Amino acid sequence: MKEFPVPVQTAEDPSVKKQSGNIFSNVFDELVRFAQSRSLFMLHYCTGCGAIELPPAMTSRFDMERLGIQPMVTPRQADILLITGYVSVKTLKRVILTYEQMNAPKYVIGICSCTVNGGMYWQSYATAKKLNDYMPVDLYIAGCMPRPEAVISGLRQLMEKIKIGEANSWQDYFKRYDYYLGNQQRLFGETWQTPTDIIGESKHYSLHTPETEGEHTRLLELHQRPLEPLEMRLGLSEKTEDR
């Protein structure tokens, strides 16, 4: 049996920020976190049947928007990735791509028992059992399917976590990318790759640790063709060509 892979944060964990001495920066950080927790854009990736409980949660009956949570259409602008039910292998590839395209800080919520342990699809050959094998999950809302009240209370918990600065599991993906990539490769095969550059991003966020790279990332590098960023060019041409 493998160890339980939900990251456990301890006092020695460098990701838990120690309170620095500067009172102004503390106040500022708290202000930023408060603002973040109050303006969350949610990309609801409706994978399974649990999605049906989202419309009532979003619309006037339960009204998520009073908490500052709104749906968003693209991952680049979204903060929360909501996985609403069983995830088939094919869907999981898309979910991972979408997750990797989100900008940090980003939070993942798994709704439904199916995302926790496979639920009633446990015996299916086509579904992924545990979502947190493939990406760090901040919060699970169990139930088959959870009612809107449960969804809302889950979101409130997430807001609370963001406000006190504990919703940091997104950092885990960069710090232990090799682990997640390994699980992904086990499921999708060795040639699995996404167009995103996680290692480069981990350096960008200064979250690069020894565990970021490993045998799995080396396997990835063997066949990955990274996309070069398009740069702006003021190309001046030779005279002969202009004629």
Partner 1 sequence: MNALDLLLLTSLGTVLFSVVFSASLTGRMLLTMLYAVQTVILFQIDAGTEMVSSFGFEIFNHALGLSFNGLSWFFALITLGSAFFAAWYGLNQQQKLLHVGLSANVFSMLVLLSAGDFLSLFIAWELVSWSGVLLMVLGKQESLVATLKYITYAIAGGMAVFAGIILIYSWTGSLAFNAVTENPLSLSQYGTLAILLIGGFSVKMALLPFHLWQAEAYALTSGPASVFLGAISARMGLFAIVITMMHVVDLKTLDSIFLIPELFTFRDFLIWVAALSIILPTYTALRQNDARLLLAWHGIGQGGYMMLGLLMYDQMGSAGGLLHVFNYASCQAILFMSVFSILHRTGTTNLNQLGGLVARMPLSFLAMLVGIIGLAGLPPMNGFVSKWLVYRSLLSDGMAIVFLASVIGTLGTILSVYKLMHNSFLGQLRVEHEHVKEAPWSMTVPMMLLAIIIFITGVMPGISLELVANAQSAIGLTPVDYHLGGVVSANSAISGDLDMIWVVLVLFSGFGIAAILFLSAGKSRRVHQLDNYAGGHFLNANNQYQYSDNFYAGLMHIIKPWYRYSFKWFEGAVVSFVNLAAVFSRSFFNQAHMLIWMLVVVTTVMAVAII
Question: Is 180 in contact with 134 (CB distance < 8 Å)?
Answer: yes
Name which position in 15, 124, 157, 196 contacts partner 1 (CB under 8 A). 196
Name which position in 15, 88, 101, 224 contacts partner 1 (CB under 8 A). 101
Residue 95 lies near ligand SF4 (rule: CB under 6 A): no
Q: Which is nearer to ligand SF4, 40 or 87 (CB)?
A: 87
The DSSP bridge partners found for residue 42 are: 71, 80
Residue 110 lies near ligand SF4 (rule: CB under 6 A): no
Q: Which is nearer to partner 1, 54 or 78 (CB)?
A: 78
Q: Which is nearer to partner 1, 62 or 170 (CB)?
A: 170
Residue 95 lies near partner 1 (rule: CB under 8 A): yes
Residue 199 lies near ligand SF4 (rule: CB under 6 A): no
Indicate which of ligand SF4, partner 1, none lies near residue 145 (CB less than 5 to 8 Å, by partner kind).
ligand SF4
Q: How far apart are CA 236 and CA 172, in angstroms?
A: 45
The DSSP bridge partners found for residue 70 are: 41
Three-class DSSP category at 56: helix
Residue 55 lies near partner 1 (rule: CB under 8 A): no
- As to burial, measured by CB atoms within 10 angstroms (0-12 exposed, 13-18 middle, 19+ buried), residue 56 is middle
Residue 16 lies near ligand SF4 (rule: CB under 6 A): no
Tokens of 69: 């949570």
Q: Which is nearer to partner 1, 18 or 233 (CB)?
A: 233
Tokens of 51: 């999605």
Q: How far apart are CA 78 and CA 97, in angstroms?
A: 14
